[in-house]
């Protein structure tokens, strides 16, 4: 009889995995709530998995995160999940899972801001050299500085285009502001 009860309890844990797994209720300041089974803090964001991708929400949008008794249920399309994940195509949008993941990945703005700041500093230093060459009436140094400024400016605009492409066609509001 004890073995029979033990087997039933053992099977129950496999049938009802929500009994074993914790879930978290995330409340946003705008009143929205959602449930996730796992989250982590990364820089100024709370990140979690959602529909096959990673979602990041800034800390200042979050009111509270607490353990919940509500079971986390991930919505899965069983037909699609049986395919190779690299070639899996979403029937509604026609994009592959890999493309979907890339689309919803969060962009590392800190990296782009630091790279732009470095290029801007180089541009400012080259501008100083251009002014000095102009003041000293040195056409060779002036031409060299102008060429270098064009290259640096081109790099800044290339970086801007890359960020815009990865950030769903948008730039951060303060991207062109001087720091």
Distance from C-alpha of 109 to C-alpha of 60, rounded to nearest angstrom:
17
Could you tell me if 96 and 88 are in contact, meaning their C-beta atoms sit under 8 angstroms apart? yes
List pLDDT tens digits, range 39-70: 888 888 888 777 667 888 888 888 888 887 76
Distance from C-alpha of 14 to C-alpha of 51, rounded to nearest angstrom:
23
Domain 18-75 is found in CATH 2.40.50.140: no
Distance from C-alpha of 37 to C-alpha of 22, rounded to nearest angstrom:
6
**Do the domains 109-166 and 18-75 match in fold?**
no
List pLDDT tens digits, range 129-171: 889 999 999 999 999 999 999 998 999 889 888 888 888 888 8
What phi-psi label fits residue 31: left (phi over 0), alpha (psi between -120 and 50 degrees) or beta?
A: left
- Domain definitions of the chain by residue range: 18-75, 76-106, 109-166
Q: Please choose, from the candidates 100, 35, 26, 25, the residue with its C-alpha nearest in 3D space to the C-alpha of residue 58.
A: 26
Q: Given this structure, which CATH class describes domain 109-166?
A: mainly alpha
């Amino acid at each position: 009889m004890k073995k029979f009860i033990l087997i039933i309890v053992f099977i129950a844990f496999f049938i009802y995995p929500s009994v074993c797994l914790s879930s978290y209720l995330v409340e946003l300041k705008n009143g929205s709530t959602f449930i996730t089974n796992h989250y982590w803090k990364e820089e100024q964001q709370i990140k979690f998995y959602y529909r096959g991708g990673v979602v990041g929400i800034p800390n200042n949008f979050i009111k509270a995160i607490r353990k919940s008794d509500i079971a986390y249920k991930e919505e899965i399309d069983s037909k699609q999940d049986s395919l190779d994940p690299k070639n899996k195509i979403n029937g509604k949008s026609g994009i592959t899972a890999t493309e979907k993941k890339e689309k919803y990945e969060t962009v590392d703005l800190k990296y782009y801001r630091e790279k732009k700041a470095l290029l801007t500093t180089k541009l400012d230093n080259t501008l100083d050299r251009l002014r000095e060459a102009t003041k000293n009436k040195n056409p060779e140094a002036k031409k060299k500085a102008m060429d270098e400024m064009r290259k640096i400016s081109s790099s800044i605009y290339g970086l801007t285009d890359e960020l815009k492409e990865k950030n769903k066609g948008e730039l951060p509001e303060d991207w062109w502001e001087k720091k």
